[in-house]
Amino acid sequence: MGYGDRGATKIGVEITEILITRDEIDSKVAELGRTLTRDYKGKSLLCVGILKGAFVFLSDLIRKLNLPDMSVDFMAVSSYGAATHTSGVVQIMKDLNQSVTGRHVLIVEDIVDSGLTLKYLLENIRSRQPASVKVCTLVDKPARRKVEIEPDYNGFEIADRFIVGYGLDYNEQFRQLPYIGVLRIKDN
């Protein structure tokens, strides 16, 4: 299929289609940047990237923000491990370095799937007394939602498909792809 296929055959998976192109991603990230710039104008914003998946999206997104009082921090959480479905148990692997008390916080996620990880993150950050906390996700997959939660800012809503690329991975592979593709795990 092109970019990244050599690794796909090695680990028994293949990308069956490009779901969201690089141009579509670029356009959506620019649109989200304009909206966030408008909504956070005059406010001190802390963008919290959720590692590892959101790092590509976050780096592109912050370059589209025209906000002089903005900073970035990261959290790493785990609920998947090497699986394709969430375990439902969320662990903080890396916590924030900055205080969120009294600050406007924007959680930047690669994908909202079951909503369990996001629910945990929202509860955790709200307990730290921020001025506000909202969520911006590149991809929303509401068909798999296990809790009632909706991102405040969303790039793309998709059906229940396993996707990789643009930071999203399968077993730490495919993050480098410039597009979002549908992954099929081959039966051995």
Q: What is the mean pLDDT of each run of 10 residues along the chain (188 residues)?
A: 46 89 98 98 96 96 96 87 58 92 97 91 96 97 92 96 95 94 82
Based on the number of CB atoms within 10 Å of its own CB, is 111 exposed (0-12), middle (13-18) or buried (19 or more)?
A: buried
How confident is the model at residue 7, as a pLDDT?
Answer: 45
- Class for domain 21-178, per CATH? alpha beta
CA distance linking residue 168 with residue 143, whole number of Å: 18
How confident is the model at residue 78, as a pLDDT?
Answer: 79
- Count of Cβ atoms closer than 10 Å to residue 101 Cβ: 9
The token pair at 168 is 């999203």
How confident is the model at residue 87, as a pLDDT?
Answer: 52
The catalytic residue among 60, 113, 140, 169 is 113
Verify whether residue 152 is a known catalytic residue. no
How confident is the model at residue 13, as a pLDDT?
Answer: 87
Q: Of the candidates 167, 158, 119, 143, which has an alpha carbon nearest to the alpha carbon of residue 22?
A: 167
How confident is the model at residue 187, as a pLDDT?
Answer: 66
Helix (H) or strand (E) holding 25: helix 22-39
- Asked if 174 contacts 162 with a C-beta cutoff of 8 angstroms, the reply is no
